[in-house]
Structure 1
Amino acid sequence: MIRNITFDEFIKLDIPVPLADVRTPAEFAHGHIPGAFNLPLFSNEERVVVGTTYKQVGREAAIMLGFDLTGPKWSGYIKKALEVVPEKRVGVHCWRGGMRSVAMAWALDLYGFEVYLIEGGYKSYRRWALNLFEKQYQALLLGGMTGSGKTRILNELAGRGEQMIDLEDLARHQGSAFGSMNKMVQPTQEQFENELAFRLKDIDAQQTVWLEDESRNIGKLTIPAPLWQQMSSAPVIDLEVDLKTRIASLVDEYGQLDKDFLINCTERIHKRLGPVQTKDAISAIRENRMDEFMRLVLVYYDKTYRNSLARKAQDRLFHLNVRDADAAHLTELILAISKTISFSKI
């Protein structure tokens, strides 16, 4: 049985259903619905040939070529689907709900699958995702200079049942020049937005959602404009942590990274650090004086953060001088402050 269904209806089904994306591997890699698996009808090269035939010869010729290309592969599609979905209940989509998904749905239905065909395909999901960025949320930002332990506190808040979105985790980047940690690979901008929307769908807009006070760019990725506008006007609880504590935290987090990686990252921000500080920072890395290296680069990052804080509405800033490193106690203080904050819709 094939059931046509909107994406919004699909995610509200009583029992979660695996979702097959029948677009090419290249399309899937560029951006896909979180949790979907790739069951490509065409290879990257085959799709180009079919598309060219459609434009230059016509629809019927393209369909015939599609059958020629896929003819020997139908049993393979079904076998792969069975590996992922042995219970034979699956959602299917392509780019915009066209022939690729219809053909795959037909074959799976013929074999006995219960198929949910997503109306409008991936394009409809993108509209759904972008609409979520336009919603109004009760955003509350946790701020503080680099090394203040914001991520640790956000995770503590999440552990207590608070709504929290870790943008750096979704972006796979720590937000600084060294933020890839020499191992993390960032997703495409489109996939970052897809993952973010999937988190936002579970957020109760009438309740506080905690975010880190980020710059708009996280590595090579950009926070969507409507959400960034809300974040720019949201109240901020600013953690004031002394320099010595922050340096120790950063040395613990970054100090064991490959020296060549740290040097390359430092050289990329040499215009912002200045020639003398850049030279001194690189020398500190090579000589394993990581405390000194962190102190030098924090001059730049601290200045940047102060400038960012100065642009915020001062009546929306709530400062918390951190003298206790205990995350549980600090979280209690932060939650107490949050209860005094009123939210206004933007």
Structure 2
Amino acid sequence: MPRNNSHDYKALFVNDTPLLDTRAPIEFNQGAFPLSQNIPLMTDDERAAVGTCYKQQGQSKAIRLGHQLVNGAVKAQRVAQWQRFCNSNPDGYLYCFRGGMRSQITQQWLKEVGIDYPFITGGYKALRRYLIDNIEIGAAMPSVVIGGNTGCGKTDLIKSLQNGIDIEGAAHHRGSSFGQYVTQQRTQINFENQLAIQIVKKLENRCQRFVFEDEGKTIGCASLPTAIRNAINQSDMVVIADSLDVRLERLIDEYIVKMQREHIQRFGEELGWTKFSDYLAQGLFKIRRRLGLERYASLVQIQQNAIDIMQSSGTITQHADWLVPLLEQYYDPMYEYQLNKKSARIIFKGSHKEVAQWLEPT
């Protein structure tokens, strides 16, 4: 039995529904949804030509040009790609930008080969509006913020909580100057979409209070939505106070061991080591002015020595020689200064385990 076109946006995201995005690649690359696959009706050049025709000669001639550009073997190839997607994802939906002409044409061409596949009413624009609205809803929920010095495991704790909102996971960036991953950070739109989908799912699971990490205005190159930033700046705080040794162990595992392994896996042995070395060097370079040039030059040399020893012998302990002064002389004083300005909002302070227990729902 054919399914109806959908306007139940919440169900699409809660159920992780596969989505066929028929927009042009340039539109998809600017922003899309986690489970969407781009199989466009028109390429970027074809879309541009049809758009120009529409502005100059009107809709009917633009539609005619579109059919001329996507015809014969070209049309057959694209329909075949859609068919494969539909057969692999029988419960999915298709969409274009507004749920208009491109969705209707795609749906009609699929019907011609025996597939009745529904599209999303309102298209990408309606889905995007729905997600933006849910960011506002999430920001208005009661919330608590987790703070603590670098290496306290704030993000790990957020991920372990049923009501935790993983902002850095949504941004695909860990927030610090060393926060980038091997793979590229998400676009601003994709960050917001990921963040909103988390909120939608938490609300569906009847979360009554959200837990955020103490974040600044930006996470890497992504800007935190104003409503979420305001919620973070106004909420009560719990602070993780772990020892330097415990934090150092976490940082070496996260930023040294795991990142070296991921670089090697992605780029191979030789190039992977080069990329890994560049990643650590760039992390220091980004904060060189705040460190002061003399201290920066010293840490660069110590860092490179630690990388050389790690590559030749597999020993990682020398990385403490630059991480400890970086924490003690830069990150910790900076964060303590910021935290002192928020002291009136702190309602609990303890170790990672104690904060986790305090945050457990009663």
Whole-angstrom CA distance in 2 between matches of 1:290 and 1:227: 35
Partner residue of 1:335?
Answer: 357
What 5-or-longer segments of structure 2 have no aligned partner?
Answer: 261-275, 307-317
Aligned AA for 2:290?
R
Matched, 1:290 2:319: yes
Deviation at 1:109, TM superposition (A): 2.7
Distance 2:292 2:207 in 1: 46
What is the aligned-residue RMSD (CA, Å)?
A: 2.5
String of CA shifts for 1:292-345, please: whole Å, max 9, x gaps.
21123222222232233233261444211x2xxxx7xx16x53336669xxxxx
In the TM superposition, what is the alpha-carbon distance from 1:206 to its structure 2 partner? 5.0
Match of residue 261 from structure 1 = 279
Structure 2 Cα separation of the partners of residues 151 and 4 of structure 1: 38
Under a length normalisation based on structure 1, what TM-score does the superposition of the two structures give? 0.85
The match for 2:198 is 199
**Matched AA of 1:302:** D
Matches of residues 22-33 of structure 1 in structure 2 within 5 Å? 22-33=22-33
Report the alpha carbon displacement of residue 225 of structure 1 after superposing the two structures with TM: 0.9
- Name the residue aligned to 1:314: 344
**Structure 2 SS opposite 1:287:** helix
Counterpart of 1:74?
75
**Structure ranking higher in helix proportion:** 2
> Which protein has the bigger strand share?
1
Relative to structure 1, the CA distance from residue 20 to residue 266 in structure 2 (aligned partners, 3 Å threshold; closer, same or farther) is: same
Give the AA of the match of 1:199: Q
Q: Which amino acid aligns with 2:96?
A: C
| Count of residues in Structure 1 that have an aligned counterpart in Structure 2 | 326
Deviation at 1:226, TM superposition (A): 0.8
Question: 1:158-216 CA distances to partner (integer Å, 9 max, x unpaired)?
Answer: 3xxx22222222211121111114x1310110011111111111113652322222222
The structure-2 alpha-carbon separation of the partners of 1:259 and 1:66, relative to structure 1 and needing over 3 Å to count, comes to same
Does the CA contact (< 8 Å) of 2:10 and 2:200 recur in 1? no
Residue by residue over 1:262-306, the C-alpha shift from the partner in whole angstroms, topping out at 9 and shown as x without a partner, is 122212211111112211211211221421211232222222322
Instruction: Report the residue type matching 1:189 in the other structure.
Output: Q
Deviations 1:37-75 (A, max 9, x none): 212000011111111111122212211110001112333
CA contact (8 A) 1:88 1:112 kept: no
- For the residue of structure 2 that corresponds to 1:228, the secondary structure is helix
Distance 2:177 2:16 in 1: 39
SS in 1 for 2:117: strand
Q: Which residue of 2 aligns with 1:50?
A: 50
* Whole-Å separation in 2 of the counterparts to 1:114 and 1:300: 60
Matched, 1:302 2:338: no
Contact 1:142 1:213 in 2 (8 A): yes
The secondary structure found in structure 1 opposite 2:231 is helix
After superposition, where does 1:1-346 map in structure 2 within 5 Å?
Answer: 3-8=4-9, 11=12, 17-72=17-72, 73-86=74-87, 88-135=90-137, 136-155=140-159, 157-158=160-161, 162-181=162-181, 183-204=182-203, 206-256=207-257, 257=260, 258-288=276-306, 289-298=318-327, 299-312=329-342, 314-320=344-350, 322=351, 330=353, 334-336=356-358
